[in-house]
Structure 1
């Protein structure tokens, strides 16, 4: 109605959406730096399990508090479970292992290739057409990854970590396509909560196996506790809310452009906090990856968001379905 002030106009108006997306992507960039530090005390599978234990409690608790329909039929739950196994179990485990073996900068930059790699699985799983813009984005992103891993003068461990990060990006891209098969009537919060629950259950044996060597006394250190809370609460539940809030307030397809805050923040914090080196091959590769992601994101923007798809953060973050467009 004319003259009626909406909630979005009351709280932030036109800048609320872009600011929320920028904050979410920046939080995800910082995730790689924080996880690099925490992984020195907590092994990857155990950290994934702890993260999901926290996130599941937050997501289900908030969902019930907001009276969202958290119960779903078994048939739909199995689809959400597949999303969780591919994305939250396999991809996030690969992300943490790859970051542990390489650097926070590589984790933030290489996993930002997800939007470009979604082109491949969109074609394989959903039969979506591959335009010249999408095809070129995959070529640029792949060339960027090769510049960083193949030509970066890395030792064997860091190079292996880089390829594991590529696996994380590929499996998250596959998950981002599989989530399209979940019925659209479920809120993104519900999908993410059930997918994480399935991943948490599956990860339990591996977490117990790795957790045998964890010093529980070390887990009580204030710095480590804050790092785990950042990973489990801020980078999952809060960043998820900010990203979903922002997607509802920007043009369809524009949200992907805010991915660039992730590698930028991750690279800067890795250099500033951890003293990680930024070489020419890394900068060249990051530039190619950025160009590839920009190309596919701008392509979505130019089509007016007509393709029914997903938009979200990098591996490790709650990617949720964007506004649906028929």
Structure 2
């Protein structure tokens, strides 16, 4: 199995897991405020990843070496991606709605392609542009266009910020992967994000009540281990293995899977737009990943 196929599998799994996260988060957020939930996710994710990293390091006879610039890069990834971008997603959605959030953040792959060109000097090919256009139209059809979008001005602006910062994360993860493993990058970037999130979590719990029971604890553990540790690692691993511009398209699986699971578990309605948009998303991904035989 070549790197392109394996990278595509990792990115597809990551985006699909984030799509499924909507169902669990919808329940848990009724009992735990958003920033506190992010903080709990990062606590669980860090300890899981750090345990795996330590086991991996003990088996590796050539441990990774860190310089000051490496720590600065990991801190930047943790700050811009796991702290700023995730926070912007929550704040932007709160100031608008989940529908607007899904539509605007679907612009993330376009920003990834742009930053991949500027930072990584990746070629901006006709195939990439065509695939991006197909998949973007597909997401717009699945999510739909809401006429109230313009009424959520500040929320929409912040959600654009979320899309831009996640694109920066994806590109700089690729830069960090030249010297460090995806496991190392994910583990320490989440640690930095945990540090940045802590002051806001302490402020939030002073003004909000938190309810815990078995179902909520299991939900937090799922969000921390699967949706954070697992999905972040898979996304970073996939970005390591293929061009960032190509990998960006797999982000579109998130709203597709989220819509499907909303229908399956929450009795939400699926119409013809879901299947038409989903077909365009899959076509866009296939166009850019399936290379012509020489």
TM over 0.5, shorter chain: yes
| Distance in 1, Cα, partners of 2:132 & 2:14 | 24
Deviations 1:18-64 (A, max 9, x none): 87766544322111221122222222221111111111111111110
The match for 1:177 is: 171
Find 1:47's aligned residue among 22, 37, 55. 37
2:93–2:100 CA contact under 8 A, matched in 1: yes
1:261/1:223 CA distance change after superposition, 3 Å? same
Structure 1 residue runs of 5 or longer lacking an equivalent are 1-7, 9-14, 305-326
| Distance in 1, Cα, partners of 2:8 & 2:160 | 28
Structure 2 residue runs of 5 or longer lacking an equivalent are none
Question: Residue 94 of structure 1: SS of its match in structure 2?
Answer: helix
| Distance in 2, Cα, partners of 1:19 & 1:278 | 25
1:113–1:169 CA contact under 8 A, matched in 2: yes
| Distance in 2, Cα, partners of 1:138 & 1:168 | 19
2:143–2:255 CA contact under 8 A, matched in 1: no
The match for 2:196 is: 202
Higher RCO (C-alpha 8 Å, min separation 6)? 2
The match for 1:133 is: 127
**Higher helix proportion (structure 1 or 2):** 2
Q: Does 1:270 align with 2:272?
A: no
- Equivalent residue pairs, number: 285
The alpha-carbon deviation at position 132 of structure 1 amounts to 2.6
| Distance in 1, Cα, partners of 2:25 & 2:154 | 18
1:158/1:146 CA distance change after superposition, 3 Å? farther
What's the RMSD between the two structures over aligned residues? 4.3
Equivalent residue runs for 1:89-100 within 5 Å: 89-98=83-92
| Distance in 1, Cα, partners of 2:49 & 2:70 | 18
The alpha-carbon deviation at position 126 of structure 1 amounts to 3.3
Q: TM-score if structure 1 supplies the norm length? A: 0.68
1:172/1:72 CA distance change after superposition, 3 Å? same
